[in-house]
A and B are shown apart, each in its own frame.
Chain A
Amino acid sequence: MSSSTRYNRQIILSDIGEEGQQKLAKSKVLVIGAGGLGTAILPYLAAAGVGEIGIVDHDVIEISNLQRQVIYKTDAIGKSKAKEAKATITELNPLVKVKAISEKLSGRNAISLFEKYDIIVDATDNIAIKYLINDACFVTNKPMVYGSIFRFQGQVSVFNYQNGPTYRCLYPDENSNAINCEEAGVLGVSVGIIGMFQANEVLKMILEIGEVLSGKILVYNVLNNEQQKYDFEKSDIQTITREAFEEKYNKCEVEEVSFESVLNEMDNDEVLFLDVRNTDESPKISLRNQIQIPLMHLESKLENLDKKQTIYIFCQSGIRSKIAFELLQKHQFKNIKSIAGGALAMKQLLKEDKLKLKI
């Protein structure tokens, strides 16, 4: 009863009705990126009653985000975007099941994640990830709702809709160097407008009304309100198999982090620093949450490691830690990173920070 009252103004649209509302309630949408586009899209999907929404974003809220990412409050600076966005849209509509995924989208998690949803929304801000989303959508046969911004212009399209053309059919050249908002600048309303176009495409697909922007790219200029649609066709050469996907994205994809970026985790019991050097190597690094297993013994001592723990692997200079990374990856460790530059870089930084450690 209360839910039909909540959605009354859209249910009374003859194109939607109770039947349309049911379609919304049954739908599952994954929004990748809870930045400018994502925060415009998410509240509208939730308010309209999309049954299940996943939010993928590994970033935290920064003060420079607030000018356009309007669902975040000033006191949320430093908090996880995915979790904050979840909290906001759950308050907005508690009937929606929301999942916050504070992980970076990669070749390792994309396919298993996409398989759980009906529609994938690309609200990201870099080109490489758009190709990854495109390819994972192709492999899992999901439509990709694309949006992106260049200063006062925006693009919107729906790729891979009912075997329609993909991002690669429009832009086959993967090595392009388009700049993002951080470099180019953007006004909040511009991402808002483009995000609305994306949310609109999502709802149209679920409700099976109107014409989906498949095989067409919409280009909108907010300064003069001109909009153009360009048609493009499916190219048979721009396909990717699941095997090719694995080969492209998951082969030797070692995730590296700088020691500087994980300095504040030195006292965090949830993480482990794993030294894979031999015991006689110096400089010695002795962090509280650290263990040493030389690389040559690592495979036989895996039971000493917890797969649920985040593990930062280091060696002397960052070479062996990559090998260790691949070894752990092979044994289904997921939360692992290799520290760039190894113990040499770490010691340098620890000295600079004048931290009192037993070195």
Chain B
Amino acid sequence: MIEVKYFGAVAEKTKCEFEKLSFSEELSLQKLLQDLNEKYEFEALTFSVAVNQKIVSKTSDYTLQTSDIVALLPPFAGG
């Protein structure tokens, strides 16, 4: 199981602030993002991605480990 956290406009698309996902075979971060994009249609939404509280490249071939926490952080603009 991994946990994915959503913030700002991304959470509005997913309609939840976090979810737990289980995966049977090896899952790369890139593949996870692809799957989420298909599921939620983020389209033009920009966001940075963190794994375990550290921002990483979205195209990273990092293999997700059980208990990893992924976060999708879009920029905010209000003030």
Contacts and interface: CB of A to CB of B under 8 A. Distances in A.
| A associates with B | yes
A127 interface: yes
B68 to A, nearest CB: 14
A228 interface: yes
Interface residues of B, number: 20
Contacts of A33: 79
B73 A149 contact: no
A191 B54 contact: no
Interface residues of A, number: 40
Given A178-B8, A191-B79, A170 B71 contact: no
B77 A150 contact: yes
Contacts of A127: 75, 77
A173 B76 contact: no
Contact of A150 (B50, B53, B76): B76
B78 A177 contact: no
A211 to B, nearest CB: 15
B7 A153 contact: yes
Given A178-B9, A228-B71, A125 B53 contact: no
A36 interface: yes
A78 to B, nearest CB: 21
Interface string B21-59: 000000000000000000000001110101001110000
Given A171-B46, A231-B53, A232-B54, A178 B73 contact: no
A219 interface: yes
B79 A155 contact: no
B64 to A, nearest CB: 17
Contacts of B74: 150, 176, 178
Contacts of A150: 7-9, 74, 76-78
6 contacts: A153-B8, A171-B48, A178-B75, A184-B78, A217-B73, A231-B55
Interface of B: 5, 7-9, 44-46, 48, 50, 53-55, 71, 73-79
